[in-house]
Amino acid sequence: MTLTLLLDLDDTLLNTNQSVFIPAYFQALAKELAPQVKPEIMMRALLAGTNLMNESEDFSHTLQEVFESVFLPQINVPPAQLNPAVENFYDHIFPTLQSLTSQKPEAKPFIDWALAQGFRVAIATDPLLPRKATHHRIRWAGFDPQQFEIITSYEHFHFSKTHAAYYAETLGRMGWDDGPVLMVGNDMERDIIPAKKLGLATYYVNGESARVSKNEARGSLSDLRDWLESIDFKDLLPAFKSTDAALGVLSATPAVLNGLARNLESNQWTQNPAPGDWTLTELICHLRDSEREIHQVQIKLFKEQDEPFIPRPDTSVWASQRDYLHENGVTALKEFNDARRETLAMLKNVRAEEWNRKARHAIFGPTNFLEIIGFIADHDRMHIQQAWDILKKIKS
């Protein structure tokens, strides 16, 4: 089984004293933009934008879009006028902050070993900064950004690391592989707890000697290789069984599709990767109609009946019957976003005890509300895998 490693960056692979680095970063940016924005105004806008990114659960807008929705109105400078200074800052000023960080000697040997093992390695850093800033920090740690399969940044991701959906979005953007996954990080609140909520195995980098219990692994980065060599990777298989996990996947799915479909050429939406395969447009239409006509109906049945019977219509004929191929894929994706937003609103106020309400499923027999929502999440994951595979084939 191929292991997927999600690796935090700051104070996991790179020594970064955040209490020193972040103020220096903000001050340097304020100084660079001072000819156009008063520093006190810029700092207030920067903090407001950062706070909104941390809070955002909007899967239809990237964190950059969320940030700019607050930042730009507050500084009242047109983007075209501001952007040259911002680009100059990240090209020439931000790199001078490297002196506030230092490399971890144990990081490079571990990454070299992990890549040699064929592991899928992602830099799962909080996507609150632009890609340029994140790539600089990766180089400061002693690596080439091209070494990693994916690097999270605010241009392309929709959730901060405070949300389980961030981890679901990251895995979705990697194709939702069914193999083992390990999140490695040093921050309990942003790396470990949200990843556990999704059902992922975690390794807490705390600088101490390795300590492993049934529910937790922790130790130094130096201990990580030995620990991985000593365990059965089956123990690292995700368990998407909780309410938090199901909701995390459901929130992330439209974000993943929005990210994967971004900047597609119009012909790629209807390009058939192989005879008999769905196109991306057909897949999105299937998800949209399943959301409206199956998933939302199932949730309503639970609200209306004590122990409902959950039907499962045959959707295999929809693509041809409804002529999905000739729909507009961009429009269908927006409609799926809207439908999923309605679904999540229906689930928002479900009480803890209601997740255990019983039902009988047409295919799976006796079940409960949580398991039904879990089936929806599994359906999402399956079709994300399919979408990822379609795009891989048509882009190769």
| Residues 86 and 108 grouped into a single domain | no
Q: How many CB atoms lie within 10 A of CB 326?
A: 9
pTM: 0.96
pLDDT band for position 136 (50/70/90)?
Answer: very high
* 338-355 pLDDT, tens digit each: 999 999 999 998 999 999
Domain boundary among 53, 77, 99: 99
Report yes or no: 84 and 126 within 8 Å, Cβ to Cβ.
Answer: no
- The pLDDT, as a whole number, for residue 209 is 66
CATH number of the structural domain spanning residue 134: 3.40.50.1000
- The pLDDT, as a whole number, for residue 276 is 82
- The pLDDT, as a whole number, for residue 223 is 92
| Residues 114 and 201 grouped into a single domain | yes
| Residues 93 and 110 grouped into a single domain | no
Domain boundary among 219, 236, 253: 236
Q: Minimal CA–CA distance to 132: which of 76, 95, 96, 90?
A: 90
Q: Measured between alpha carbons, how far is residue 291 from residues 260, 284, 376 in Å?
A: 20, 11, 9
| Residues 70 and 200 grouped into a single domain | no
Domain boundary among 236, 266, 297: 236
| Residues 119 and 75 grouped into a single domain | no
How far is 373 from 145, CA to CA, in rounded Å? 37
| Residues 247 and 179 grouped into a single domain | no
Domain span at residue 321 reads 243-395
Residue 246 has pLDDT above 80, yes or no: yes
User: Domain total for the chain?
Assistant: 3
| Residues 163 and 117 grouped into a single domain | yes
